[in-house]
């Protein structure tokens, strides 16, 4: 009898297991020959079993060979949406750079222009499908401070939508995130360009003061900003455990805007290969943020971010630690789980089980 491999979402009641269903602990949870019911299929999903072997030709089998076109592993081709995102991003980052240069040399925040960017162009970028995923492929450009600020604003905008912010609150959040590091425009560029480990104690103290400097710059503008915008700038380096700065606030004493920006800022820094020498892939960054969610970050905000960001990774072409390229085809329901990938030759690998293998690079999205 023919044996076919099926994704669990394609399995239907009445199908018969051709091989035992094995869980991540290598235990047989359903024997060969079991007739599957809706209840048993649900149970397989709960056990995080993603692929099963079935007798017969019914349904939509997952072939033993690659179900992905070979072209998926070939030369990268950007979709129209990706090209639109990249083109709009390059225009906006130049506008942000111009605004930051004005602040650096004139000590005046062009608030009307910056507000317009937050309300229109950056909001539009944050609404594009897969925006955070697309950002990862844009690194290697100049204007590090401007790009970091823009990236954090886009990520915060996406996270704000996931948190259910109203349109007006979302625009204010994006503005606050865009300006979260505005105080760094008052720090010498040779200090800004150093890695954290290279800073002297005096320079590290200067860097810590950028939150206060940014807050004071914005307080001096001719246009009065809402308190939550200012709070996001002042408090985004506070840790929920009291270990942050400048006020050592704890828990919900830290404004929600600051707690949202902190998550966006941390993810951007972890994955930014132009800022951090030991930058992480988005997958490794998720694992790091899971740990930090129970330390310095707001756990509820981080949980919403981590639960939703993983969906953007489906379909990414990645490089494994053994050098092979693979496509991300499945992510378990628990945020701590590593994905299932499919290699060019059609092999399915559950990285939660094969712990010696890791994702070392996102080749393309």
Going from the C-alpha of 242 to that of each of 214, 232, 249, 298, 299, the distances in angstroms are 21, 16, 5, 12, 14
The SS3 of residue 80 is helix
How does pLDDT run across 193-247, given as a tens digit for each residue?
Answer: 888 888 999 999 999 999 999 999 999 987 889 999 999 999 999 999 999 999 9
- Average pLDDT of the residues of the chain: 86
Longest CA–CA separation in the chain, Å: 79
For residue 249, the model assigns a pLDDT of 96
Q: Predicted confidence band at 277 (pLDDT cuts at 50, 70, 90)? A: low
Residue 102 has pLDDT above 90, yes or no: yes
Question: In the chain, how many H helices and how many E strands?
Answer: 14, 9
What is the H or E stretch that residue 51 is in? strand 51-55
User: Residues near 171 by Cβ (< 8 Å), separated by ≥ 6?
Assistant: 118, 119, 123
Residue 320 has pLDDT above 60, yes or no: yes
User: Residues near 100 by Cβ (< 8 Å), separated by ≥ 6?
Assistant: 145, 146, 149, 182, 185
Whether residue 328 contacts residue 282, with contact meaning beta carbons closer than 8 Å, is answered with no
**What is the rounded average pLDDT of the residues 307-327?**
89
Q: Residue 314 has what DSSP assignment?
A: T
Going from the C-alpha of 245 to that of each of 73, 205, 249, 266, 290, the distances in angstroms are 45, 11, 8, 15, 22
How does pLDDT run across 155-185, given as a tens digit for each residue?
Answer: 999 999 999 999 999 999 999 999 999 999 9
CA angle 123-127-128, nearest 5°?
125
Q: Residue 342 has what DSSP assignment?
A: E
For residue 49, the model assigns a pLDDT of 80
For residue 123, the model assigns a pLDDT of 96
> Which has more confidence, 35 or 101?
101
The SS3 of residue 7 is strand
**What is the rounded average pLDDT of the residues 184-188?**
93
Q: Predicted confidence band at 130 (pLDDT cuts at 50, 70, 90)? A: confident
**Strand 317-320 to 51-55 pairing:** unpaired
Q: Predicted confidence band at 82 (pLDDT cuts at 50, 70, 90)? A: confident
What is the H or E stretch that residue 201 is in? helix 201-208
**What is the rounded average pLDDT of the residues 275-303?**
87
DSSP for 145-189, please give it.
HHHHHHHHHHHHHHHHHHTT--HHHHHHHHHHHHTTTGGGGGS-H
How does pLDDT run across 335-351, given as a tens digit for each residue?
Answer: 777 888 989 888 889 89
Q: Predicted confidence band at 58 (pLDDT cuts at 50, 70, 90)? A: very low
For residue 76, the model assigns a pLDDT of 58
Q: Predicted confidence band at 27 (pLDDT cuts at 50, 70, 90)? A: low
How does pLDDT run across 105-118, given as a tens digit for each residue?
Answer: 999 999 999 999 99
For residue 78, the model assigns a pLDDT of 65
Which burial class, exposed, middle or buried, applies to 205 when counting CB atoms under 10 A from its CB (0-12, 13-18, 19+)?
exposed
As a whole number of angstroms, the distance between CA 291 and CA 351 comes to 19
How does pLDDT run across 28-56, given as a tens digit for each residue?
Answer: 677 777 778 888 888 787 777 878 888 76
Q: Residue 71 has what DSSP assignment?
A: G
- Minimal CA–CA distance to 163: which of 126, 125, 117? 126
For residue 312, the model assigns a pLDDT of 82
How big is the chain by its Cα radius of gyration, in Å? 23
Q: Residue 1 has what DSSP assignment?
A: -
Range in 1-5, 143-147, 223-227, 319-323 with the lowest mean pLDDT: 1-5
Sign of CA dihedral 148, 150, 155, 160: positive
Which burial class, exposed, middle or buried, applies to 324 when counting CB atoms under 10 A from its CB (0-12, 13-18, 19+)?
middle
Helices 299-309, 282-292: inter-axial angle, 10-degree rounding: 160
**What is the rounded average pLDDT of the residues 70-90?**
74
């Amino acid at each position: 009898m023919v044996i076919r491999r099926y994704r669990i979402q394609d399995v239907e009641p009445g199908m018969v297991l051709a091989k035992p269903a094995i869980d991540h602990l290598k235990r047989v949870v359903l024997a060969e020959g079991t007739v599957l019911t809706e209840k048993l299929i649900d149970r397989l999903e709960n056990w995080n079993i993603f692929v099963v072997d079935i007798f017969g030709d019914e349904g939509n089998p997952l072939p033993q060979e690659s179900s992905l076109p070979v072209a998926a592993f070939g030369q990268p081709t950007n979709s129209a949406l990706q090209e639109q995102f990249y083109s709009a991003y390059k225009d906006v980052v130049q506008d942000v750079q111009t605004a930051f240069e004005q602040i650096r040399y004139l000590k005046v925040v062009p608030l009307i222009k910056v507000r317009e960017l937050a309300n229109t162009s950056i909001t539009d970028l944050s609404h594009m499908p897969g925006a955070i995923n697309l950002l990862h492929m844009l690194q290697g450009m100049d204007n590090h401070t401007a790009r970091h600020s823009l990236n954090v604003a886009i990520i915060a905008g996406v996270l704000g939508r996931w948190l259910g912010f109203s349109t007006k609150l979302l625009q204010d959040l994006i503005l606050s995130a865009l300006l979260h590091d505005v105080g760094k425009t008052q720090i010498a560029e040779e200090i800004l360009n150093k890695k954290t480990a290279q800073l002297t104690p005096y320079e590290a103290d200067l860097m810590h003061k950028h939150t206060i400097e940014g807050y004071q710059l914005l307080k001096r503008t001719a246009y009065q900003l809402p308190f939550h915008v200012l709070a996001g700038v002042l408090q985004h380096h506070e840790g929920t455990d009291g270990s942050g700065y400048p006020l050592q606030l704890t828990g919900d004493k830290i404004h929600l805007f600051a707690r949202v920006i902190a998550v966006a800022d941390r993810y951007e820094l972890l994955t930014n290969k132009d800022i951090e020498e030991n930058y992480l892939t988005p997958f490794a960054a998720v694992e790091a943020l899971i740990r930090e969610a129970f330390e310095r970050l707001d756990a509820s905000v981080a949980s919403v971010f981590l639960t939703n960001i993983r969906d953007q990774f489906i379909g990414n072409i990645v490089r494994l630690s053994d050098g092979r390229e693979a496509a991300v085809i499945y992510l378990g329901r628990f945020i701590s789980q590593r994905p299932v990938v499919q290699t060019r030759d059609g092999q399915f690998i559950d990285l939660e089980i094969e712990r010696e293998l890791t994702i070392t690079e996102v080749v393309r999205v």
